Amino acid sequence: MEKAGKDFYMKSALELARALLGCLLIHRTEDGICAGKIVETEAYMGTKDKASHSYNNRRTKRTETMFGPSGQAYVYLIYGMYHCMNIVAAEPDNPQAVLIRALEPIDGLDLMAYRRYSKSLSDCSRKELLNLTNGPGKLCQAMKITIKNNGESLTGNSLYIVKQGTPKASDIITTTRINIAYAEEAVHFPYRFYIKNSPYVSVRDKAEELKAGR
DNA sequence: ATACAGATCGGT
DNA sequence: CCGATCTGTATA
């Protein structure tokens, strides 16, 4: 259990997406501390990847942090009401990032329940407990990650990653990314990764799980 | 100045 | 499947 340092993030988004599986995402706020185990990620490979915000070197106010150094949070608002959190990968001017798509709640569950449903943990149904952080928008709401965290360095003491044992290769499912139907050939790129047996994954790929065996 | 789509979610 | 809800982005 050690906090991930600068070096950890200096790799391609594809490598980082795999390396992040099993790690803890921690957020300390005034309300308290929350933590979740990362169980699902997606790699966005930058200027050549039609699904990426930085495709074709599109550099705007929103995408600017993707062009910065690795190890920063790239957070943006989606559909006018939800946030998505990414971790910037690779080197400056190579705008790659990893989208955090799902967590297994580990610590601060009561805080998460209040942020998600405005009620205490003990009043949550089984389904609500499973839905606390099983999607990119949900986990940001539960962890209180907002546009204010955009550009924040993960080497600080507020929002950061703690390394844990990476799952073995046979426990990682590799499949296509979610909700990028517009991305032409990139639709088929195997850039999504999740932990096979986790009940906290947002969308399962039954065919790939069968192929991976048990 | 205007138009429009989107790396989502929750309810029907 | 649909609507919510609004910012970033492109086009003119």
* pLDDT, tens only, A54-112: 999 999 989 999 999 999 999 999 999 999 999 999 999 999 999 999 999 999 999 99
Share of chain A above pLDDT 70, in %: 100
pTM listed for this prediction:
0.96
Residue A102 pairs in a beta bridge with: A40
What average pLDDT does chain A have?
Answer: 96
DSSP class of residue A51 equals T
A118 touches strand B (CB under 7 A): no
Q: From the alpha carbon of A51, which nucleotide's C1' atom is closest?
A: B7
Give, to the nearest 10 degrees, the angle between helix A109-117 and helix A136-143: 110
Question: Does pLDDT of A214 surpass 80?
Answer: no
Give dist(CA A181, CA A74) in Å, integer.
22
Strand C neighbours (CB under 7 Å) are A 53, 58, 60-63, 76-77, 79-81
CA angle A148, A25, A154 (to 5 degrees): 55
Nucleotide nearest to A62 (CA to C1'): C8
Residue A45 has pLDDT above 70, yes or no: yes
Asked if strand B contacts A79 at the CB level, meaning under 7 A, the answer is: yes
Residues 6 or more apart whose Cβ sits within 8 Å of residue A35:
A24, A25, A26, A27, A106, A107, A108, A162
- Residue at the smallest CA–C1' distance to nucleotide C6: A80
Phi, psi of A58 (to 5 degrees): -70, 110
Q: For position A165, what pLDDT does the model report?
A: 85
Question: Does the C-beta of A100 come within 7 A of strand B?
Answer: no
Tally of CA atoms within 13 A in the half-sphere of A24 that contains its CB: 16
Nucleotide nearest to A147 (CA to C1'): C7
Under 8 Å between Cβ of A201 and A194? yes
